[in-house]
Amino acid sequence: MSSQKLTTEEAAAYLRLKPGTLEVWRCRGRGPKYQKIGRRVIYDRKKIDEYIESNTVLTTDTCPSLAKPATASNSGRGGGSK
């Protein structure tokens, strides 16, 4: 089964962006992958979902292994007396 194809306007609505944002991203080589058929631009919904997934940000709250252990050099920053 093939994935749903979306116009720029539909893809922008799905991403909660303005269509102009996707147009700018295309010019700058950013954003989700798209296809052109003639002058028409279409987005594959699966590729949009992959783009979203690839932009997931891990924080120390969601991925404790990213947390840096406290060190002695960090404990005295900002506020110590001279």
Which stretches of 1-82 are DSSP H helices?
A: 8-15, 19-28, 45-54, 72-75
Q: How many domains does the chain have?
A: 1
Low-confidence ranges of the chain (pLDDT < 70): 1-2, 72-82
Supply the DSSP symbol for 66.
G
Question: Residue 3 has what pLDDT?
Answer: 83
Could you list the residue range(s) of the whole structural domain that residue 38 is in?
Answer: 1-56
Q: Residue 28 domain-assigned?
A: yes
Q: Write down the residue that tokens 């296809």 correspond to.
A: 35
Question: Residue 20 has what pLDDT?
Answer: 98
Q: Residue 74 domain-assigned?
A: no
- Whole-structure pTM value: 0.70
Retrieve residue 62's tokens.
């969601």
Q: Residue 64 domain-assigned?
A: no
Question: Residue 77 has what pLDDT?
Answer: 59
